[in-house]
Structure 1
Amino acid sequence: MTHSDAPEGALDLPGYARVYSGKVRELYAPLDADGTPSEEVILLVASDRISAYDYVLDSVIPDKGRVLTQLSLWWFEQFASLVPDHVLSTDVPAEVEGRAILVRRLPMLPVECIGRAYLTGSGLAEYRERGSVCGVELPEGLTEASPFPEPIFTPTTKAPLGEHDQPMTYAQVEAEIGPELAAAARDMTTRILALGNEIAAERGILIADTKVEFGVRDGGLVLADEVLTPDSSRFWRAAEHEVGRPQTSYDKQYVRDWLTSPESGWDRGSGEAPPALPQDVVDATRATYVTAYEAITGRSFD
């Protein structure tokens, strides 16, 4: 990728080569003494870009990259005894301080590992029709925001930017990565969500569902990318949780709701990119992300 096609927020960092731009992240490889990009280490930079409905929006959310990075680091510490992570150092270039980490370069699982602890979203429609979510059979009598007896694993494909991830059966995951890694990914995804909920519930937040990323090292899983952030998870306010109705969120649901409201003028089925966010939505989204960070970590963001 050349500088000319760099996305909003991408930087030229001396001593680093940019090797990938995702929806909201940039990956840079440190240059070795001979000027070749490192094969072992990656600088993972979280931008302030925001995505919704498989589009990267024209608007940015100030400080979002810092929130995602610092909250992920906090969670990596909480899960240290559960699963190794990819973090090597937070000693990063000044231009990206606070929103970047140096991580181990790993082969990544080609599967989106999604865990769900409550019934909501696309899972609710399937449950009403079939009594299951992503093929996982569930008890009768559940409704919007009902907790599951225990977290379930509902993997999807990893679709290219602009395309939709597709649900996968567990048998398809086994065929893709083998039965041992499939079982490890399923068990670790649900354990992370269960432990995350134990910790977050004490701080007034319920984690309805989440997506986690795993790399592989020495045949075992390594927790990578981000973990339990407002971008990768659905956070609800515990004090306001009430089964049978939509919940108040601490995540980018605020953005999704505006985009699908008459005020935005956008038709989700039109195939056209969404409009830029108005300033009040940008400000409210930033405040939501910061509030989630402060509630979970107990630390002041600013």
Structure 2
Amino acid sequence: MSKLKANPTLTVIKPGPLSLIQDFGRFGVAHLGLTQGGPVDDYSYSWANYLLGNTVNQAALEITLGQCVLKVDFDCEMAICGGDLQATLDGSPLDNWSSFQAFKGQLLSFGLPKNGLRAYLAVKGGFDVPLTLNSCSTVTREKIGGLTQDGQPCQKGQKISFTQHDLSTPFKALSVTFRYKPDYNLPVNLRVIEGYQSELFSESAKETFYNAQYIVDQNSNRMGYRLNGKPVTSPDSSLLSEGIALGAIQIPQDGQPIVLLNDRQTIGGYPKVGCVARIDLPRLAQAKPGHEISFSKGDRLGLQDLWCQWAKFFGY
């Protein structure tokens, strides 16, 4: 009898604090109470796939805070983009924002974050993960998606399958040019598109919001980033709960802004001053606790044009 061929895999030796399988997200299910999930830094996620020639929706591994070790069980080509987690292959440093080849038996290790908070590991052809409602994105709060389809982060001993592919010979690593690599240590200014509820805020409240310097709270996560700074006076109005957009900026009664991200709840009733521009959210997603954040009023049409250029380049 012929031997069955083993599927190409990576074995999780050490998962780190939070390593999640993500594709572009789960859409059209908000009416079921399910959020979109997907990469909180879709800029880095998209570059990692782009460097390998993958389509934009290929599953990748989102590694938050590093400290992850993976064993390569099959020769492959991969790419790492996003925060600098001091990645090494068998102890040799890997260039961030670049593709590379890895061979059977090698160990791919991530250290503590040096610049940014999370990195995206993509493999040529994408990771082969079962879909739940047309997506493999992991949402731990909703217990959906991921390797076991129950929202669990990657666990020690699990094997992550990927599509078998031929290695490029000769191999030439592809890298993102310097001008497109963000410096995550710089202060972050987020451009805001105001919504209809902005009219509920007094002029002095909006002045506070746009002039204050905030810092990222340690309780921030994939649901939303909590910010600490000068309180913004929240409108004394009773609002019906409504659908929540990605990047919505809620101002609860304590006046400390919350920017809602991919794993947000689908409805909410806190007053919202507006939404962070879609193109600015990846910078926020890489901000560590204590990082400085400010807001400025954005030009909607100009930001839409920027987003369309980005979407066209990556093929969204």
TM-score, length of structure 2 as denominator length: 0.26
Larger radius of gyration: 2
Greater share of helix residues, 1 or 2? 1
